[in-house]
Amino acid sequence: MDLTRTLIIGNSGSGKSWLASRLAGHLQVPWVDLDSIHWVSDEDSIARPRAEALGMARVAASDERWVIEGVYGWMVSELIHRATALIWLCVEDEECVANIRQREAQRGENDDLMIALLDWAGSYRMREGSSGFAAHQCLFDGFSGSKLQLMDRSEVTAFIRVHRLGKQPRDGI
């Protein structure tokens, strides 16, 4: 599998950032989280203007080597022609919700952003638009390069073992 320019897609809480940090560290390439491009302020839910975000994403994908990850199919669809590999973390919604609860444990259950994120992750398979399951399925099916669909934590762990990806500072799904 040619991992020179790897795109990782999947639901919120599926482990995209965790896998991307390990892969980028192992390959010694830049890691781009599309959340950092999409959001001007994640805490305040202020999205960057779409054209500006696409421009930033295209600049990131113009490098010769990278790992880019995110849920945003509308951005991924603009970058996919540059990718040598596509990894889809197709983890069950319930597992994604549990991962978010663990990752965001410091937030209270009544935190509005936490509630919205849990609702978002829990609706992946039903969600319409470019960031839902059906859109990711289309991106995956249409990609002609090396691709891999990982369905759960054990498959992600097996991928890590096969590619001998060592631990990175942000360890833990």
Cβ atoms < 10 Å from Cβ of 71: 26
Task: Please say whether the beta carbons of 142 and 34 come within 8 A.
Answer: no
This model's pTM is above 0.85 = yes
The C-alpha torsion from 55 through 58 and 62 to 68, rounded to 10°, is 130
Give a yes or no: residue 72 inside a domain: yes
Q: What CATH number does residue 37 fall under?
A: 3.40.50.300
In tens, the pLDDT along 112-151 reads 888 999 999 999 999 999 999 999 999 999 999 999 999 9
In tens, the pLDDT along 94-107 reads 999 999 999 887 77
The confidence score (pLDDT) of residue 163 equals 78
Distance CA 166, CA 58 (A): 29
Burial profile 12-42: b = 16 or more Cβ within 10 angstroms, e = fewer:
bbbbbbbbbbbbbbbbebebbbbeebbbeee
Using alpha carbons, select from 11, 31, 80, 78 the residue that is nearest to residue 51.
78
Per the structure, the complete domain to which residue 90 belongs is given by 5-161
Residue 169 has pLDDT above 80, yes or no: no
Give a yes or no: residue 172 inside a domain: no
Give residue 42's pLDDT band: very low, low, confident or very high (50, 70, 90).
Answer: low
- As for how many domains the chain has, the answer is 1
Give a yes or no: residue 170 inside a domain: no
